[in-house]
Amino acid sequence: MKTYTTESIRNIVLLGGTRSGKTTLAEAMLYEGKVIDRRGTIEGKNTVSDNTEVEQLYQRSIYSTPLYAEFMDHKLNIVDAPGADDFIGGLISGMKVCDAGIMLVNAQQGVEVGTEIHGRYAEQSHFPVVLAVNQLDTEKTNWDNTLDSLHKAFGSKPVVFQYPVNPGIGFDAFIDVLKMKMYKFKDDNGTREIVDIPDGEKGKAEEMRAALMEMAAENDEELMEKFFDAGELSEEEMHKGINIGFVNGQIYPVFCLSAKKDIGVKRLMEFMIEVAPKPKEDPAGPLSLFVYKTSVEQHLGDVSYFKVMSGKLPESQDVVNPENGSKERITALYAVAGKKKEKVTELCAGDLGCTVKLKAVKTDQTLNQPGYDAVVPPIKFPSSKYRTAVKASDEKDEEKLGEALNRLAAEDPTLIIEYSKELKQTIINGQGEQHINILKWHINNDNKINIELFAPKIPYRETITKVANAMYRHKKQSGGAGQFGEVHLIVEPIVEGVDTTAKFKIDGKETQLNIKAKEEFALPWGGKWEFYNCVVGGAIDASFMPAIKKGITQRLEEGPLTGSYARDIRVFVYDGKMHPVDSKEIAFIIAGRNAFREAFKNASPKILEPIYMVEVMVPADCMGDVMSDIQNRRGMIEGMNSEKGFQILRARVPLAELYKYSTTLSSLTSGRATFTQEFIEYQQVPADVQDKLLKAYEAEQQEED
């Protein structure tokens, strides 16, 4: 392959819902670009995209696939993105390194769930998109309904550049309003004839061209003046105006396709070369690469996919990772078409490629020439929507499971794996149940590990609501040296903005404690606790205070009610006893721990639960069902507004009620709703919930005993 300059490169991501035809279009584009000489099919499991075993099993895109085609002396880099929201990471990373998108729309169904979701991401980013109406050759094709659904979803942005002459079975021709020609196809391999528009279609085509010309003129003052003066724009001038509107995300050109029969594919590729933005990257700048995807591939090992962000990348180039300081050598460069890797000698700014066997490079990292320390802003992936605990069915596989999970998370940044010391569980955070099921498939099949997925524990917090006191004497005699320590203490809740008076009723008497020392500790799990030394007369030597604090800290880490972390408590140690021989550090650790536990239980303790702000984007006709479901989850609805036929619902929902919420929401709305969730605060659980939690913990403790 020759070296393509930045000017001769176009980077395109394929968007659209599941089964809209992205992979089939990619096959046709590669066929037109001479990368393959025969087009594969999804059913035949021989496409360049969807080339992994699991994708062929499910017959759908799960991972983004980098591809390329050489066409009209240009290199088209293509990222075929998955359609399902559960695998949205592939689309987001593809949009990061591409400059325009082709959104596939099924002519039988019009705008579907995936179209809506991908369209939102494009609109939020002002990302240039062509709407390619695909499957115009099918019996249930409905061009007019599809156009109506596009305008309903995207407003005035969709602009018809082509329309089909005979949609449905036998579809073989369309009118191109920009070129003012009819494209007629002779076979299923893209063989086309460009002819004059038939008389019966001329009036319609001229009317549409006039509207297109006016729309192009609106995007540039100079063009607008010329259009008003002459009433006409040349095709080159129209391209200029269209390019401005397209790049700004204000125009979504609508094109006709049958990707399966290679109808319209070549013309679509021509348009992308003519109008799609050129890469913005600087070919004269210092060398910098951005790694947008990593994977482990058979016979190759670790593969790093990147975009050249500036400069020119030759073979055998030394680079530095500014994030971790590691030095790497890029020994081989490849242009990528799925599993096919074609060796190249250099890549210019704006180009996509891959290399192998880098030592310490992850997705979302930058590599630079030595002495250059720029860092490309990271990809902003959506927050997780699905949370589950995992363990190996056989305890002996736990270490292998940890390695497998970390490797999968390194390949897919939307998978977040964490071991919770608090919950003593490994937690997987992902984009949905399908996302997690694919992870499970890999662990079962690639790593030969059987795993169990189950609802994770909830990170509750424990605190108190009133003042209480307690004492504990630890005394142990075992023949030799004994252990003795006695601690008297008071606990009270910390209330924001309220200081302590240190005045308490002890044994029925009002007592003002004499504070000798105060320490305040911020807790890693949120909140704080305060320790007051109020001992007078040498009842407990100051040297034992650290031991008492240690004992209390141990109890804070495993609260008396459910074993959850405790927080927001003041502790006043005001009395105790020592033994001149038997008092040791361990004795006061135990005495402090148990005195705190008893006081805690007497201080009207409460369990706090994590509350999340959930924002749901839901179709208006599904609003009632979604609201009822949230209320059944103990959710408190805080607000609503609307946006393009969707309702935006905001509600505070306990984390304990959000397990598998993404699955339920998808079922209630046929997959059309999306949501985000974000932790906001801890809040006291209702009394009935607390009773259930206490009984469950008590039963768990009895089982362990």
Other residues' Cβ atoms within 10 Å of the Cβ of residue 45? 14
- Please say which residue of 437, 454, 471 terminates a domain: 454
CATH number at residue 667: 3.30.70.240
Task: Please state, in angstroms and rounded to a whole number, the distance separating the CA atoms of residues 464 and 604.
Answer: 6
Question: Is the pLDDT score of 703 beyond 80?
Answer: no
Give the 3-state secondary structure of residue 561.
coil
* The pLDDT of residue 479: 65
Question: Is the pLDDT score of 477 beyond 80?
Answer: no
Task: Please state, in angstroms and rounded to a whole number, the distance separating the CA atoms of residues 90 and 412.
Answer: 9
pTM of the model: 0.89
74 domain residue, yes or no:
yes
339 domain residue, yes or no:
yes
Residue 305 tokens, joined: 């996919």
Instruction: Please check whether residue 128 is in contact with residue 219, taking contact to mean a CB–CB distance below 8 angstroms.
Output: no
* Mean pLDDT to the nearest integer, 495-503: 93
Instruction: Categorise residue 507: left if φ over 0, alpha if ψ from -120 to 50, beta otherwise.
Output: left
Which residues are registered as beta bridge partners of 704? none
381 domain residue, yes or no:
no
Instruction: Please check whether residue 101 is in contact with residue 107, taking contact to mean a CB–CB distance below 8 angstroms.
Output: no
Which residues are registered as beta bridge partners of 173? 184
Question: Is the pLDDT score of 328 beyond 80?
Answer: yes
Task: Please state, in angstroms and rounded to a whole number, the distance separating the CA atoms of residues 37 and 189.
Answer: 11
CATH number at residue 486: 3.30.230.10
* The pLDDT of residue 297: 87
Residues whose CB is less than 8 angstroms from the CB of residue 442 and which lie 6 or more positions away in sequence, other chains included: 54, 404, 408
Give the 3-state secondary structure of residue 297.
strand
282 domain residue, yes or no:
no
Range of the domain at 302: 288-368
**Nearest of 3, 29, 1 to residue 349 by alpha carbon:** 3
Which residues are registered as beta bridge partners of 575? 488
Q: Which long-range contacts (CB under 8 A, 24 or more apart) does 515-521 make?
A: 515/572, 517/545, 519/549
Question: Is the pLDDT score of 644 beyond 80?
Answer: no
Helix (H) or strand (E) run with residue 236 in it: helix 235-247
Question: Is the pLDDT score of 41 beyond 80?
Answer: yes
Same domain, 97 and 50: yes
* The pLDDT of residue 701: 82
- DSSP state letters, 468-481: EEEEEEEEE--SSS
CATH number at residue 311: 2.40.30.10
214 domain residue, yes or no:
no
Same domain, 114 and 260: yes
254 domain residue, yes or no:
yes
Q: Which long-range contacts (CB under 8 A, 24 or more apart) does 235-239 make?
A: 235/178, 235/179, 238/178, 238/212, 238/213, 239/274, 239/275
Same domain, 28 and 124: yes
Q: What is the pLDDT of residues 137-164, one digit of tens each?
A: 999 999 999 999 999 999 999 999 999 9
Average pLDDT over the chain, rounded to an integer = 94
E strands in 257-376? 288-297, 301-310, 312-314, 317-320, 327-330, 333-337, 340-344, 346-348, 352-356, 365-368
Same domain, 261 and 115: yes
DSSP state of 129: E
Q: What is the pLDDT of residues 507-555, one digit of tens each?
A: 889 999 999 999 999 999 999 999 999 999 899 999 999 999 999 999 9
* Mean pLDDT to the nearest integer, 251-271: 97
Which residues are registered as beta bridge partners of 175? 163, 182
Cα distance between the two ends of the chain:
70
Same domain, 599 and 612: no
* The pLDDT of residue 694: 94
218 domain residue, yes or no:
no
Greatest alpha-carbon span in the chain: 114
Instruction: Please check whether residue 342 is in contact with residue 1, taking contact to mean a CB–CB distance below 8 angstroms.
Output: yes
* Domain count along the chain: 5
pLDDT classification of 653: cutoffs 50, 70, 90: very high
Question: Is the pLDDT score of 680 beyond 90?
Answer: yes
Q: How far is the CA of 481 from the CAs of 476, 542, 551, 576, 581, in angstroms?
A: 9, 22, 21, 20, 8
pLDDT classification of 702: cutoffs 50, 70, 90: confident
223 domain residue, yes or no:
no
Question: Is the pLDDT score of 412 beyond 70?
Answer: yes
Same domain, 439 and 577: no
Same domain, 444 and 466: no
Q: What is the pairing mode between strands 606-619 and 674-684? A: antiparallel
Same domain, 477 and 450: no
Same domain, 299 and 393: no
Instruction: Please check whether residue 3 is in contact with residue 345, taking contact to mean a CB–CB distance below 8 angstroms.
Output: yes
Same domain, 543 and 562: yes
Same domain, 48 and 177: yes
Question: Is the pLDDT score of 705 beyond 80?
Answer: no
Q: What are phi and psi of 392, to 5 degrees?
A: -75, 140
Instruction: Please check whether residue 292 is in contact with residue 363, taking contact to mean a CB–CB distance below 8 angstroms.
Output: yes
CATH number at residue 443: 3.30.70.870
E strands in 414-524? 416-420, 425-430, 451-454, 461-463, 468-476, 483-493, 503-506, 509-512, 517-522
Same domain, 481 and 571: yes
